[in-house]
Amino acid sequence: MIGAVDIGGTKIAVGMVTESGRLLARTECPTAPERGPSDGLARIAAMLRQTAAQAGQELMGIGIGCTGPVDPQAGTIGNVEFLPGWEGADIAGEVSHVFSIPVALENDADAAALGEAAWGVGRGAHSLVYVTVGTGIGGGLVLGGQLYRGVSGAHPEIGHHVIDPSGPACSCGAHGCWESLASGPAMVRWISDTFPNSASPARGLDAEGIFVAAGRGEPHALAAVAREGFYLGLGLANLITLFTPDVIALGGGVMRSRHLFWDTIQSTIRSACGFVPFEQVRLTPAALEPDTALVGAACAWLHRYRCDTLGLTEPVRTS
Ligand SMILES: [Zn+2]
């Protein structure tokens, strides 16, 4: 079995995964980034030991998915907005030293994309784009069976492609990025800004609360959800136009309420994708949710060290 670690801005999940992608044991703790990377590493090691004991099989290796920019070849964490003080931490090297087995580090969305390609909705597909929509929008691309990497191994940030330059300012410095228009917080912000003086029951709610209010037929919440579907559809239409993948796998908290805006997504794609066979692109919920990134981290290890297992071609080998 493979150890899996998913480091996010709010929580760290750890689990044990079989070579066929089955999650055997799982635990998690708050990230508490202010306690620093050494403390985080100690908690990760303890959770790996605990879940390995629960699963009771031999540990071959450990895959780590981490939010934000990472250096997959060096195994170090980059300048991650949600992990202040962790930049440069040699997380893969340290974990490998503790357990004396090889460790692979990937961006969490890249890990999730690999997991869906190998074990989820992308099984047998040539190309897959994974998109997660929650507090942000992220994603990864598996093209021709390979994880796509940019220059110097850079992770492409599909959540920050600009959809409306007159849109809201984004933390990345641009205006009207997909994330600034269609993430959960973007929907909340829109309701507050659009109905500042109203007594809308949807004001003051988080994204999940807005979906619940929309389900009850509350008009302002319904307007927010319609807008959400439109902007999600526009971003997905752009991805379809750019990559025409076999499959787009959709994950993240916002997508759990997709029944409320699925038709809007589809109609937006239909009207925006005039030159590509969009109707052949399979748009589907990710199969490994809610643990796509965790299970994907194990897949990232297999992809790195045992690529023959997945039928994927390995683009980077670090040891
Ligand atoms: Zn942005």
**Tell me: the pLDDT tens digits for 242-262?**
999 999 999 999 999 999 999
What's the first-to-final CA gap in the chain, in angstroms? 20
Distance from the alpha carbon of residue 129 to the mean position of ligand 1, in angstroms: 19
Q: How far is CA 242 from the centre of its chain?
A: 19
Question: What's the pLDDT band for 310 if we cut at 50, 70, 90?
Answer: low
Residue 318 in this model has a pLDDT that exceeds 50: no
| Measured distance CA(55)–CA(26) in Å, rounded | 9
Distance from the alpha carbon of residue 106 to the mean position of ligand 1, in angstroms: 21
- Across 11-20, 84-93, 219-228, 304-313, least confident range: 304-313
User: Coil, strand or helix: which one is 22?
Assistant: coil
Distance from the alpha carbon of residue 158 to the mean position of ligand 1, in angstroms: 9
Distance from the alpha carbon of residue 140 to the mean position of ligand 1, in angstroms: 16
* Mean pLDDT estimate for the chain: 93
Question: What's the pLDDT band for 184 if we cut at 50, 70, 90?
Answer: very high
3-state helix, strand, coil in the chain (%, to 5): 45, 20, 35
| Measured distance CA(1)–CA(71) in Å, rounded | 24
Distance from the alpha carbon of residue 171 to the mean position of ligand 1, in angstroms: 6
Residue 308 in this model has a pLDDT that exceeds 80: no
Alpha helices in 245-291 (DSSP H): 262-272
Per-residue pLDDT of 98-117, as tens digits, reads 999 999 999 999 999 999 99
* pLDDT the model gives residue 315: 46
* Residue 99 burial (CB count, 10 A): 17
Distance from the alpha carbon of residue 252 to the mean position of ligand 1, in angstroms: 18
Residue 65 dihedral angles phi and psi, to the nearest 5°: -105, 135
Among candidate residues 283, 288, 278, 282, the one with its CA nearest the CA of residue 113: 288
Q: Which two tokens stand for residue 257?
A: 């309420």
> Cβ distance 302 to 309 under 8 Å?
yes
Mean pLDDT of 68-73: 92
Residue 314 in this model has a pLDDT that exceeds 60: no
Share of the chain above pLDDT 90, in %: 87
Among candidate residues 97, 98, 92, the one with its CA nearest the CA of residue 74: 92
| 138 strand-pairing partners | 132
Distance from the alpha carbon of residue 160 to the mean position of ligand 1, in angstroms: 4
* pLDDT the model gives residue 309: 58
Q: What is the pTM of this model?
A: 0.93
Alpha helices in 30-90 (DSSP H): 36-55
| Measured distance CA(238)–CA(220) in Å, rounded | 27
Distance from the alpha carbon of residue 307 to the mean position of ligand 1, in angstroms: 33
Distance from the alpha carbon of residue 40 to the mean position of ligand 1, in angstroms: 28
Distance from the alpha carbon of residue 43 to the mean position of ligand 1, in angstroms: 32
> Cβ distance 198 to 220 under 8 Å?
yes
Per-residue pLDDT of 77-95, as tens digits, reads 998 888 999 999 999 999 9
Residue 178 in this model has a pLDDT that exceeds 90: yes
Distance from the alpha carbon of residue 68 to the mean position of ligand 1, in angstroms: 13
Distance from the alpha carbon of residue 227 to the mean position of ligand 1, in angstroms: 18
Residue 278 in this model has a pLDDT that exceeds 60: yes
Distance from the alpha carbon of residue 139 to the mean position of ligand 1, in angstroms: 13
CA distance to 77, 112, 290, per residue, from 239 (Å):
27, 17, 23
Residue 43 in this model has a pLDDT that exceeds 70: yes
Distance from the alpha carbon of residue 159 to the mean position of ligand 1, in angstroms: 7
